[in-house]
Amino acid sequence: MDWQTKYNNDAQVQRLARNFDKYVTIDWREERIANYVKEIDEIPLSQDSFESLIQSLSTGEILKTRLFSIIKNWFVLTSVAIVIGTVAALVSIITSLLDNFKEISVNYGLIVFTLVSILFGLIASTLCVIFAIDAAGSGISEVKAIIAGFNRNSFLSWRVLIIKALALPFTIASGLSVGKEGPSVHYAACIGSSIPKIIVPSLKNSPNLISEIISAASGAGVAVAFGSPIGGVLFTVEEMGGIKLSTLWKTFYTSLIAITILQWWNPFGTGQIVMFEVRYTVDWEWFEAFWFVLLGICGGIYGILVIKWNILHVYVREKFFSNRGFKFACVIEVGILCTITALLSYYNQFMRQDMAKVMGELFVACDYDTDDSNLCNDSNTLILSLAYATILRIALVAISYGCKVPCGIFVPSMAVGATFGKLIGVLLHKFGSPVNSGIYAFLGAGATLSGVTGLTATVVVIMYELTGAIKYIVPTMITVVSVRVIVAIYGNGNGGIAEQMLIFAGTPFLEVGEGCDGIVLDLMVKNVIGIDIDKEIDVEEIKSCQKKEYPVWKDHTMIGVVKHDNIDLNQMDKEFITIETGASIFTLGEIFATIGPRIVWVLQEGSLVGIVTRKDFIRYLRYMEWLEKGDVFVSEYAQQVYVSRILALYKRLI
């Protein structure tokens, strides 16, 4: 029995690819060829190509055409960046207004504070459920898949952009332990997908160029969220896979313009572009390196545990709501989460306030000789408050991230690290160590951010751009390296939360270097539907197979490929990608990841014997990993101990 049969007979394994049908595979090879042809067609040449070429060169027509194309592309990027910066500013302004209203409600007691939190959460969730369910969640995982060549137009639509931007301020102001950074990447990607198609309608048929713009826009989304343009560029490289030099330049330019526009709007009225920008003048000592490593270890453990816990809770959420016909059941869940969060947070200053403001306070370097504020002492009250905030925030992040509101995990994780780092710093100072607790809050935030996202250089640069303290690059690197060591040893090997959510959600995604032991013969589909030109061709019968393209062969030797929409042997494509049955699966993976064909045709001694699509390749890799490791996300033990109990609780509450 081949692997496809085993796969199709096991419903549990099919979860590994349950969302594949939502995405359309882009053939990067064909798109590159189409772009080259388009560029050639734009050159004004007559039938007499040689004389026309000489004339075009002498009059500068070719140079003008090329220059116009370059200007057009950079104008598109500038427009995208301006819109991203403007949307980011408006989101920040509205969030600030709602947050101020929420702070006023604190003066009216716990009940009013809780009701305001519930109201904001319900508004955000209802907007998503009624108008654009794709606006809920983070969006980073799906954008990664789209950039990698699996298109899903509905996910980057105007409707999603508008609802994401409208619902996000209400989500943040509700007090839920979720952030705006992931949603910032999503709405920026929506802008990168939508704006260019308005300015240059022909880009609708250029997925290759749109993908580069979406990559650049995603980096700009991080840049405006953190006030970190270089961090946005590195985010594109580390997280979104934008490793081409042209993409890097576009990302840097888009981030720079977006940040400039955000600065011009001055959303916080302070001249700053983030709410927790601080500057350090105190230095650090080498004896503190031990504690930096400890912060990194704890950040790594946090990332492993929270990702595991959150995915389990998402599994519970999916299982519960899939059996509910009531459309607004997930809105009720958001209301319950808001209630729990508000009730448990009201009496704690680190939980009640906006997370960005809390970090701004915690990051400040304390002068214990002159500063006697409630954050620059080592009282038992402060220690207990920090410990409570750390433990509670961890639990709330794990169960809140992924509910039906726009939600990210960057800042909530940083808030966990900030309170934990501050706690370590206060304890060290209490026992006589001459350390500055504000700096430990800063490093703790970087540790948990790295732990949950799997990012390294991006975290170091973002933390540097937030503080401007170049002397703290080394401590940040020590902390982040410690995080990565712990994750490498004790993690499941599937990266940060975005990568793990891709796999768990059954979303197609492929990176360079992916593969497994075996040969192409082990995974190819052997039943090939195609055209034998030595036989009579029944076009209607072939089209009834509903394939996108069909191979053409003569005497068992493949000679070309025809499209489903145009089965004409005179127009068949004679250039196609093939591989031998005995080639390694790693080689096939390199072909898919670097050249990017949708299909690779499998030959044996020159004869066509099978095919492998990019989606089938990913299915096979995930199936092989499942056979080797089992379900790394939801084990049988987790089903018994956590899933069954939380499901029972949900049935009582909703």
Q: Structure tokens of 417?
A: 């690290």
498 lies in the same domain as 583:
no
pLDDT confidence bin for 368, thresholds 50/70/90: low
What digits encode the pLDDT tens for the residues 477-490? 999 999 999 999 99
Note the pLDDT of residue 108.
93
Average pLDDT over the chain reads 88
* CA atoms 225, 228, 232, 234: torsion sign: negative
**Residue 143 domain-assigned (yes or no):** yes
Mean pLDDT confidence for 385-406? 96
Pick the more confident residue, 299 or 12: 299
Enumerate the H helices of 323-379 as residue ranges: 329-345, 349-352, 355-363
Note the pLDDT of residue 227.
85
Of 456, 476, 505, the residue at which a domain comes to its end is 505
pLDDT confidence bin for 23, thresholds 50/70/90: very high
Place of tokens 């099919």: 14
333 lies in the same domain as 422:
yes
499 lies in the same domain as 554:
no
pLDDT confidence bin for 242, thresholds 50/70/90: low
Mean pLDDT confidence for 65-83? 87
Q: Which of 221, 234, 224 shows the shortest CA–CA distance to 273? A: 224
SS3 511: coil
Q: Structure tokens of 642?
A: 């956590």
244 lies in the same domain as 311:
no
Helix (H) or strand (E) holding 634: none
Q: Residues 575-580: contacts with CB within 8 Å, 24+ apart?
A: 576/551, 576/601, 577/29, 577/601, 578/602, 578/603, 579/520, 579/603, 579/612, 580/520, 580/604
Chain mean position to CA 324? 28
Note the pLDDT of residue 59.
57
What digits encode the pLDDT tens for the residues 335-361? 999 999 999 999 999 999 989 889 988
572 lies in the same domain as 597:
yes
**Structural domain boundaries, residue 96:** 68-265
Compute the distance between CA of residue 148 and CA of residue 144 in angstroms, rounded to an integer: 6
98 lies in the same domain as 186:
yes
Mean pLDDT confidence for 609-628? 92
Note the pLDDT of residue 452.
97
Pick the more confident residue, 68 or 447: 447
CATH number of domain containing 591: 3.10.580.10
Place of tokens 């033990």: 637
Compute the distance between CA of residue 154 and CA of residue 190 in angstroms, rounded to an integer: 10
**Residue 8 domain-assigned (yes or no):** no
300 lies in the same domain as 422:
yes
For the beta sheet containing 557-563, the strands, ordered from the edge strand earlier in sequence to the opposite edge, are 531-532, 549-554, 557-563, 607-613, 599-604, 578-580
Pick the more confident residue, 234 or 651: 234
CATH number of domain containing 150: 1.10.3080.10
**Residue 73 domain-assigned (yes or no):** yes
Helix (H) or strand (E) holding 34: helix 28-41
Mean pLDDT confidence for 571-578? 87
Q: pTM score, two decimals?
A: 0.91
203 lies in the same domain as 303:
no
Whether residue 599 is predicted with pLDDT greater than 80 in this model: the reply is yes
Whether residue 580 is predicted with pLDDT greater than 90 in this model: the reply is yes
Compute the distance between CA of residue 285 and CA of residue 78 in angstroms, rounded to an integer: 44
CA separation, residue 446 to residues 139, 235, 258 (Å): 22, 14, 24
Note the pLDDT of residue 90.
95
Whether residue 50 is predicted with pLDDT greater than 70 in this model: the reply is no
Whether residue 48 is predicted with pLDDT greater than 60 in this model: the reply is no
- 33-42, 438-447, 552-561, range with greatest mean pLDDT: 438-447
Mean pLDDT confidence for 630-636? 87
pLDDT confidence bin for 426, thresholds 50/70/90: very high
Note the pLDDT of residue 543.
73
Mean pLDDT confidence for 430-446? 89
Whether residue 187 is predicted with pLDDT greater than 70 in this model: the reply is yes
Note the pLDDT of residue 132.
94
What digits encode the pLDDT tens for the residues 117-160? 999 999 999 999 999 999 999 999 999 999 999 999 899 999 99
* CA atoms 621, 623, 628, 629: torsion sign: positive
Mean pLDDT confidence for 584-600? 91
Q: Which of 211, 217, 206, 214 shows the shortest CA–CA distance to 253? A: 217
**Residue 479 domain-assigned (yes or no):** yes
**Residue 622 domain-assigned (yes or no):** yes
Beta bridge partners of 573: 561
321 lies in the same domain as 427:
yes
Of 265, 297, 326, the residue at which a domain comes to its end is 265
**Residue 635 domain-assigned (yes or no):** no
- Share of residues in the chain with pLDDT > 90 (%): 56
Of 459, 478, 505, the residue at which a domain comes to its end is 505
What digits encode the pLDDT tens for the residues 247-289? 888 999 999 999 999 999 988 776 676 656 677 777 888 888 9
Whether residue 304 is predicted with pLDDT greater than 70 in this model: the reply is yes
Secondary structure letter of residue 286 according to DSSP? G
Place of tokens 């948990």: 448
Note the pLDDT of residue 53.
53
Compute the distance between CA of residue 590 and CA of residue 27 in angstroms, rounded to an integer: 15
Note the pLDDT of residue 516.
81
Compute the distance between CA of residue 38 and CA of residue 25 in angstroms, rounded to an integer: 21
**Residue 615 domain-assigned (yes or no):** yes
Please, what is the Cα angle at 484 between 503 and 444, to 5 degrees?
110
**Residue 441 domain-assigned (yes or no):** yes
364 lies in the same domain as 488:
yes
**For the chain, how many structural domains are there in total?**
3
252 lies in the same domain as 379:
no
419 lies in the same domain as 476:
yes
Mean pLDDT confidence for 58-65? 62
Note the pLDDT of residue 49.
57
Helices 289-322, 437-453: axis angle to 10 degrees equals 40
Place of tokens 């990012």: 455
pLDDT confidence bin for 643, thresholds 50/70/90: confident
Pick the more confident residue, 138 or 531: 138
Q: Which of 441, 494, 488, 74 shows the shortest CA–CA distance to 249? A: 74
